[in-house]
Amino acid sequence: MSNEGERPVEPTSYDLQPPVPTTGHVPTQLSAEPGDVRRVGGRYRLMGRLGHGGMGTVWRAFDEVVERDVAVKEPRPPEHLDEAGRASFFERLRREARAAAKIDHPSVVTVHDVVLDEGRPWIVMELVDGRSLGDVIAEGTLEEPEAARIGLAVLGALAAAHRRGVLHRDVKPDNVLLGAHDRVVLTDFGIARVEGERPLTETGAFVGSPEYVAPERALGQHPGPASDLWSLGVLLYTAVEGLSPFRRNGTPATLQAVLTAEPPAPSRAKGPLGALIMGLLRKEPAARPSVEELRAVLSDVAAGPARLPQLAGGPAGSGPAALLRRSRPARFAAMGGAALAVLALLLVLLDPFGAKEPDGWEQRTEKTVAATFEVPADFERRKGEADDGRGWLWFSSADGIYEIQVWLHPEAAEEPLRAAEEHLDDLKDNAWRHDLKDVSGNSYVKEYGELDGAEVSMTSRERRADDNAPRDQRLYFFHGGGGDRLWRVQVRLPAEPGTAHDEGMRIYERLLGSFRPQK
């Protein structure tokens, strides 16, 4: 794998056998016959073209050393560039690889390698089987929860990039891939800027996608993380409306709209998501919502259609969504008597400080597992501590159909996906020790609101059960609250499709949606 930008790139494949020479155009689909095979770096066999953009062509390839499918980006510099221009173009490709490799997040594409072939640097990345968000939007707009789910994943990727000093600078639907298991992946760091690196000389053409570029970038000012958040706002607007609010005929007109036009509020996102989008599209970077505000709203919207009550006839600008439309210092000063009355009524109706929820759930703050979360109020509760110091809680319905377990591993530095894989392997290899049989399942990366971890979906049978019916288990592993603490949340439910299974999944999703690790 290529390094993370701390020293000059040293591709791992330079010393392998020379690539098979080719002449002329490489065909879109390459046959498996030895004479027609094109290998890059002596190990990556090109299988077919996936797509192309302004900086190159992306190929599906097969890594013959570790035997896995990968994506390979072939650089294609414009023919009019002179030697200095080509050198700058290739350096941009190397920087793209370094920028992506600096970021460790499940919603950022993984860079495996950079290889030099015929004097050009090729980027080898993970292959994300799926479609781009741009392709999906071309077929129709997204519902609010789905748009918020995708936006939440992209926000997580951007926040991780910004922590490593990387600005993406080209956030748009075509650069967001939707893969298996609801995975969302931000790709194409081709024009990213890394803190501390000398900016490359531009060719004179506008760099980026005009209808998604922030006003400060259009003015040539120094961009910051808020510039990427503006682009996220345009992406969300496009997802729910089907079109960027700044699209015009030609780049100059589009940039002028970015600088001066006030976009209409999205008609298909009128609640908190609509207010959030409009907040992101403020011209002044400092006035845009923070990452924390964005994460809270997107998590709530992604969880489902439930909203705070809207009081008929209330004054414009009052209510919870209005907080996103004002700068933080002015929020409480702007609340007049009418708004305070609305807030007071909401507090009476919702009783947010009470433990019991109106639908039979209760919020619990549990020191044993250092977390606050919601569970059905009538579930029986037990707690314990394992020999290795792990604390755990167990909740069960009176009829035994549903079981919840919450585990806290106080010192577990491994990544959630690794922990999930090891746990599933243990259940499969040592099923008898867990009084199980016929264990099957898989593990994968998944996000639930603010939780960023890995999930196990498995089915098994209990050795001693009278009915021998299959049972589903969903287990979720994630870090949070600082340090090396790792939580494992799991729910057991009937495996057969039907009302009981659906209710079990609802319990699981609400439990995770309400879960808040303590600092």
- For residue range 271-282, list pLDDT tens digits in order: 999 999 999 999
Structure confidence by residue, pLDDT tens digits, 63-87: 999 999 999 999 888 777 788 878 8
Q: How far is the first Cα of the chain from the last one, in angstroms, to the nearest whole number?
A: 35
Burial of residue 399 (number of CB atoms within 10 Å: 0-12, 13-18, 19+): exposed
The pTM of the full predicted model, rounded to 2 decimals, is 0.53
3 state SS of 191? coil
Query: Which residues are annotated binding-site positions for ATP?
Result: 73
Q: Which ranges of the chain have pLDDT less than 50?
A: 1-35, 200-205, 306-358
Half-sphere exposure of 106 (CA within 13 A, CB side): 25
pLDDT of residue 348: 35
In angstroms, the CA 322 to CA 315 distance is 11
Query: What CATH class has 361-517?
Result: alpha beta
CATH code for the part of the protein at 129-193+207-304: 1.10.510.10
- Topology at the third CATH level for domain 40-127: Phosphorylase Kinase; domain 1 (3.30.200)
pLDDT given for residue 46 in this prediction: 94
- Residue 311 has a pLDDT of 26
Task: Report the distance separating Cα 106 and Cα 477, nearest Å.
Answer: 14
Can you tell me the distance from the alpha carbon of 511 to that of 490, in angstroms, rounded to the nearest whole number? 10
Length of the chain: 519
The answer to whether the CB of 425 falls within 8 A of the CB of 433 is no
Active site residues: 170
pLDDT, position 316: 35
Predicted pLDDT of residue 54: 60
- Please tell me the predicted confidence (pLDDT) of residue 418: 87
Q: Are strands 193-194 and 380-385 parallel, antiparallel or unpaired?
A: unpaired
Average pLDDT, the chain: 78
From residue 76, alpha-carbon distances to 113, 175, 203, 470 in Å are 18, 18, 15, 54
pLDDT at residue 266, as a whole number: 93
Q: Which pLDDT belongs to residue 98? A: 80
- pLDDT score for 432: 80
**57 and 76 in contact (C-beta within 8 Å)?**
yes
Annotated domain spans of the chain = 40-127, 129-193+207-304, 361-517
